[in-house]
Amino acid sequence: MKTYNVNETHRLQTGQLNMPPRLLLGPGPSNAHPRVLQAISNRQVGHLDPSFITVMNEIQEMLRYTWQTSNPFTLPVSGTGSAAMEATLANLVEPGDVVLVGVIGYFGERLVDMAGRYGADVRRVERPWGEVLSLDDLSQALDEHKPAILALVHAETSTGALQPMDGVAELCRKHNCLLLIDTVTSLATAPIFLDEWGVDAAYSCSKKG
């Protein structure tokens, strides 16, 4: 690898950043709307600037509408859906907590891995990829494992399976555990009612649905 001394770095030249045009048709990321591209080309402001606070408040209000929740702790995270997943688990999981994860595809497996990295005693309730968990599946698993958290993927990106949420929160209340859901693929593509469903924590991202 070539090295440069401090006296010759001023002669280095870099080309103009020019990303090739792509039509992104996978489950994420997707092409940004022209209004979004225009917005991110605006001038930067600091994170304590009054105008930034105003925008942040507006974003939180719109996110609460999108998720159908009145929870004041509805926060945008600068990062991917995986960053939001990690932020959620990092703030909920205590070392030694039993975390029951519904595994119906790849992102259920990722929840298992990430919860384990935060010291959780991870248990699994699973169905073959492409299927969803029934209330009986969840009830039996909650009875057996008595978790502090039940983590489910609402829409499994790897298969497209949509996990029904009716009755799940009632099971969690009965077993005194928190309900966490991954809405990375389902946000803005399927109905989501966090308050009505009794969801304690959820995360998503802006680059799929």
Evaluated on CA atoms 189, 70, 202, 196, the torsion sign reads negative
In the predicted structure, residue 10 carries a pLDDT above the cut 60:
no
The domain limits of the chain are 80-203
Residue whose pair of structure tokens reads 């004041």 in the numeric block = 72
How many other CB atoms sit within 10 Å of the CB of residue 96?
9
Fold for 80-203, please state it. Aspartate Aminotransferase; domain 2 (3.40.640)
Predicted confidence (pLDDT) per residue in 13-58, tens digit: 778 888 899 998 876 678 888 998 998 899 999 989 999 999 999 9
Full-model pTM: 0.84
Predicted confidence (pLDDT) per residue in 93-148, tens digit: 999 999 999 999 999 999 999 999 999 999 999 999 999 999 999 999 999 999 99
How far is the C-alpha of 142 from the C-alpha of 97, rounded, in Å?
14
